[in-house]
Amino acid sequence: MIFRKFNGICFVALLSFFLGGCASTLVGSLEELHEPPVEAFFVTDRNDTGLKDPAEKYGKERASVSYGICSVSIPPGHRIGKLESPTFRKDVEEHIVLVDVSVLEKKDFFSKVSHALNRSGKKTMLLYVHGYNVTFEKAARRMVQIVDDLDFKGIPVFYSWPSQGSVGGYPADAASVEWSEQNLGDFLAEAARISGVNTLYLLAHSMGNRALTGAFLDLVREKPHLKSRFKALLLTAPDIDSEVFRRDIGPGLAASGAAITLYASGRDRALRLSKRLHGYPRAGDVDGFPLIVPGIETVDATHVDTSFLGHSYFNGSRSVLSDMFYILNEELRAEQRFSLEPVDTPEGRYWRFKE
């Protein structure tokens, strides 16, 4: 997502309405929950604010890496593809709510992750890296929504880099996501060495793709013995220069041995704004047909149900969530997923959702 002063205050206010959300007092108690909160591990290089409210635990400044576990409640009436958010007051009966954040020492964190992997059946991990304009709280809530909707049976982990969490924070976010790349890469290497892990899946959204692809390619180059642990990368709405991706990033990803899926959309207003700012197309945009790179399965999500901005289809569209389900749970490639149909072009083949 991207901020640009096309219509001044009105534009900012509109984006804030759709991308923000008011945090206030919590209605209801943990004892009233119909189901126990979902736990997700987290790694972050945001600053610890020292505040007691879980939603305010981590801020927007850069800091050393912290580790821990989040507890997030899912409302009984949760609908797939919906990140139920409050307008004024958070209610555990109606909203997905971050209810607790427990900070762990690094050795305790990896010990708990290893123990959880050894107790799980498939011994798999899903790592999610969020995009621009996302707070720590929203990253936690979105991570749990995704794994709940996907019925993912492995271990969920999210990496939260120091996004400003504001519409006007795009330049600072672009700098911070680059700064976080090394920290993320160190964690990827450590995660691949965890006792008990058989398979790692990586999921990134928007600007988060910059850090994830860079960190993964560095790992493949510097620690090739670890690359076999990574089964698949899901790159959703990547806010990366299209030609840079085609020339410098895509070939390395394709050669890694992991299954690479790139989701793009021609209705992504956020990436269209990013294109205007940078002057060049983005890898997650579709103009005519999407970016095609040999060895990468590109899926055109232009015609799926989506939000006003068309940028969050990866967690808001049943079609895309269903497609990701078959990648993560069944390890199916594009030609095996019944909801997709191939489209052949002079530049190669891509896939789109059947109408």
Which positions ≥6 away from 229 have C-beta within 8 Å? 192, 197, 198, 199, 200
Number of domains, the chain: 1
In a domain, 59, yes or no: no
In a domain, 35, yes or no: no
State the pLDDT at residue 200.
97
pLDDT above 70 coverage of the chain, percent? 90
In a domain, 85, yes or no: no
DSSP 241-273: BHHHIIIIIHHHHHTTSSEEEEEEBTT-HHHHH
The larger pLDDT score, comparing residue 9 to residue 176, is at 176
In a domain, 199, yes or no: yes
**Residue 90: closest CA among 30, 130, 15:** 30
State the pLDDT at residue 86.
86
Angle at 157 between CA 236 and CA 254, to 5 degrees: 40
**204/161 Cα distance (integer angstroms):** 12
The larger pLDDT score, comparing residue 320 to residue 14, is at 320
Report pTM.
0.90
Could you report the per-residue pLDDT of 246-274, keeping only the tens digit for each?
Answer: 999 999 999 999 999 999 999 999 999 99
In a domain, 249, yes or no: yes
Could you report the per-residue pLDDT of 261-320, keeping only the tens digit for each?
Answer: 999 999 999 999 999 999 999 999 999 999 999 999 999 999 996 676 788 999 999 999
**323/340 Cα distance (integer angstroms):** 8
Q: Residue 148: give its domain's CATH number.
A: 3.40.50.1820
Q: What is the domain extent for residue 150?
A: 8-21+104-353
State the pLDDT at residue 20.
38
DSSP 95-144: S-EEEEEEEE-HHHHHHHHHHHHHHSSS-EEEEEE--SS--HHHHHHHHH
In a domain, 75, yes or no: no
